[in-house]
């Protein structure tokens, strides 16, 4: 069997496995320059055989660039890369794949129209006489999935699975490719806890088989659960590489941003005002019988697992989906919200879950995105007043410290955290009474997180109310004045801030989900 054929199951005795402290990859003074940016400034990094090496850093610190260099998607500008002591160029994805380097990306990078099995075998199809052995591939893929404990159908089209399940397919796909170095870029951002556990057991198993793992995550507790060593990037430079036993969350956060941990979940004491929103027995597609209130100056949190019905609830509140029962009152008067435009007119705005798909026009410029909701205001006679547009846009860029080459830069050129700032900024430009934030800090670096929390406080002080959805319990726990727990489309509990501990809330959220925790 040729060496690049996938191996499906049982740990094959790898020559490298015993040799655990020898470096697999060494980066020496690696630089990467793009037009206008110096993304990596002389990185020295050693990845040892068979270790789980976490890499952390704020968005824009250079993590994505580093991965792209390791996977051959970008070529380094200068420096040396050694692979098992031998110098390599890493000029193309093919070269990286040939060495046994694979990656599982943050956003699933697979072909949604192909089947699970076809994705797993993409580029390494099994053939006989020039034709594909389709049945054999489906069987092999199914065997791999079953063996890993992922109960997913190999013959199903990928786009019939949830994002979390697709992420697991991506991981299984990488695992079966006879990999030596496997890079996970924030794989758990869209995973439910049960799926995260499956992924972690896969990662630990690969480590036992001698695979070197690079693990990138903003969730520090995951890193302490999983990693052997951790490296911190800041502004394109490597700050430190440490053994996980010799460091602490507080130290890592200081390395990343020079900011201490209790400042991250920034929360100010703000007086609650009058009743702003009252929802009574609202039902709609994916959720049933939800009642809650939001006061001016209050953050109401919605916590639950992915699929619990929280996004469906706010989408209905925002007029994207029709309600089937219940009443909504704003500022004491019943309102009927039949469309997004109705919601915005009534002073409700939504910062959606997926900034790429729902929040931004990625191939238009930063200025356009920031001005999009207010073009009506900017064009009183039908013509857009360019001066007013520029002023509104520049105000948000400087207020929010959006790191961009300028308002004419295209939105996709910005890092995740800065893209999120644009989505928030466009609604700050517009103004509203009730702000709904759906997973506002997913894939956002610590610095931007703090900034987002400060914006929350600012909005509250000005008399707005906030509904915030988050799957990250410490965040909603620390920030919210009232916390509603959702499970399987139902509102199962509500607590005031600090009323109960994390364990109670987590228990409410997962009770019937059969999770192992």
Name which of 332 and 514 has its Cβ closer to another protein.
Answer: 514
Please, what is the minimum distance in Å from the beta carbon of residue 157 to another protein?
6
Task: Compute the chain's Rg from CA coordinates.
Answer: 24
Neighbours of 442 (CB within 10 A): 19
CA separation for the pair 52, 214 (Å, rounded) = 6
* Residue 513 makes contact with another protein by CB under 8 A: yes
Stretch binding another protein (CB under 8 A), from 83-91, 148-156, 221-229, 261-269: 148-156
What does the angle CA 183 – CA 185 – CA 187 come to, to the nearest 5 degrees? 110
Q: Which residue among 151, 271, 408, 517 contacts another protein (CB under 8 A)?
A: 151
> Containing H/E element for 32?
strand 23-34
* Residue 131 makes contact with another protein by CB under 8 A: yes
* Residue 179 makes contact with another protein by CB under 8 A: no
3 state SS for 427-460: HHHHCCCEEEEECCCCCCCHHHHHHHHHHHHHHH
Name which of 167 and 231 has its Cβ closer to another protein.
Answer: 167
Please report, to the nearest 10 degrees, the dihedral formed by the alpha carbons of residues 149, 311, 56, 213 taken in order.
10
Positive or negative, the CA dihedral 402, 405, 407, 409 is negative
Please, what is the minimum distance in Å from the beta carbon of residue 97 to another protein?
5
Give every CB contact of residue 34 below 8 A, 6+ residues apart in sequence: none
* Residue 118 makes contact with another protein by CB under 8 A: yes
Name which of 133 and 219 has its Cβ closer to another protein.
Answer: 133
CA separation for the pair 307, 463 (Å, rounded) = 31
* Residue 353 makes contact with another protein by CB under 8 A: yes
Packing angle of the helix pair 193-208, 134-148 (nearest 10 deg): 100
Please, what is the minimum distance in Å from the beta carbon of residue 43 to another protein?
22
CA 170 from centre of chain = 15
Stretch binding another protein (CB under 8 A), from 8-16, 47-55, 115-123, 384-392: 115-123
Stretch binding another protein (CB under 8 A), from 76-84, 102-110, 180-188, 334-342: 102-110
Neighbours of 169 (CB within 10 A): 24
Name which of 68 and 234 has its Cβ closer to another protein.
Answer: 68
Binders in 273-312 for another protein, by CB under 8 A: 285-286, 305-312
Name which of 48 and 134 has its Cβ closer to another protein.
Answer: 134
Positions in the binding site for another protein (CB under 8 A): 71, 73, 93-94, 97, 103, 109-115, 118-119, 122-125, 127, 130-132, 134, 150-153, 155-157, 160-165, 168, 192, 194-195, 198, 285-286, 305-312, 315, 353-354, 357-358, 488, 513-514
């Amino acid at each position: 069997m040729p060496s690049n054929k996938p191996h499906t199951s049982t740990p094959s005795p790898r020559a490298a496995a015993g040799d655990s402290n020898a470096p697999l990859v060494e980066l020496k003074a690696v630089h990467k320059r793009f037009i206008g940016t110096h993304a990596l400034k002389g990185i020295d990094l050693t990845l040892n055989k068979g270790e789980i090496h976490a890499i952390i850093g704020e968005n824009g610190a250079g993590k994505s660039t580093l991965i792209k260099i390791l996977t051959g998607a970008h070529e380094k500008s200068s420096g040396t890369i050694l692979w098992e002591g031998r110098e390599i160029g890493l000029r193309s994805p093919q070269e990286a794949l040939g060495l046994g380097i694979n990656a599982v990306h943050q956003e699933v990078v697979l072909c949604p129209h192909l089947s699970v099995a076809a994705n797993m075998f993409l580029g390494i199809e099994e053939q006989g006489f020039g034709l594909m052995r389709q049945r054999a591939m489906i069987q092999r893929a199914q065997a791999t999935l079953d063996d890993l404990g992922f109960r997913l159908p190999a013959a199903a089209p990928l786009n019939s699975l949830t994002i979390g399940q697709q992420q697991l397919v991506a991981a299984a796909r990488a695992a079966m490719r006879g990999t030596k170095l496997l890079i996970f870029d924030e794989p758990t951002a869209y995973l439910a806890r049960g799926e995260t556990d499956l992924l972690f057991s896969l990662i630990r198993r690969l480590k036992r088989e001698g695979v070197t793992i690079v693990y990138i995550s903003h969730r520090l507790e995951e890193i302490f659960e999983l990693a052997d060593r951790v490296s911190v990037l800041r502004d394109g430079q490597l700050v430190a590489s440490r053994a996980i036993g010799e460091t602490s969350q507080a130290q890592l956060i200081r390395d990343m941003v020079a900011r201490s941990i209790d400042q991250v979940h920034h929360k100010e004491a703000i007086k609650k005002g009058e009743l702003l929103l009252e929802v009574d027995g609202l039902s709609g597609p994916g959720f049933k019988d939800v009642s809650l209130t939001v006061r001016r100056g209050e953050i109401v949190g919605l916590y639950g697992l992915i699929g619990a019905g929280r996004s469906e609830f706010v989408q209905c509140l925002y007029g994207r989906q029709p309600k089937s029962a219940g009443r909504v009152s704003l500022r004491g008067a019943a309102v009927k919200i039949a469309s997004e435009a109705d919601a915005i007119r009534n002073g409700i705005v939504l910062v959606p879950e997926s900034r790429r798909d729902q929040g931004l026009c990625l191939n238009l410029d930063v200025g356009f995105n920031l001005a999009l909701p207010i073009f009506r205001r900017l064009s009183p006679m039908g013509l857009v007043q360019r001066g007013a547009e520029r002023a509104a846009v520049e105000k948000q860029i400087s207020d929010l410290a959006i790191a961009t080459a300028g308002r004419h830069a295209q939105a996709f050129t910005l890092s995740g955290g800065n893209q999120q700032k644009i989505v928030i900024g466009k609604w700050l430009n517009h103004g509203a009474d009730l702000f709904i934030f759906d997973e506002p800090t997913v894939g956002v670096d610590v610095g931007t997180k703090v900034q987002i929390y400060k914006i929350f406080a600012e909005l509250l002080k000005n008399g707005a109310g906030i509904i915030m959805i988050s799957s990250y319990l410490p965040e909603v726990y620390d920030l919210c004045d009232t916390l509603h727990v959702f499970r399987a489309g139902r509102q199962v509990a509500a607590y005031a801030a600090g009323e109960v501990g994390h364990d109670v809330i987590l228990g409410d959220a997962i009770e019937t989900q059969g999770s192992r925790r």
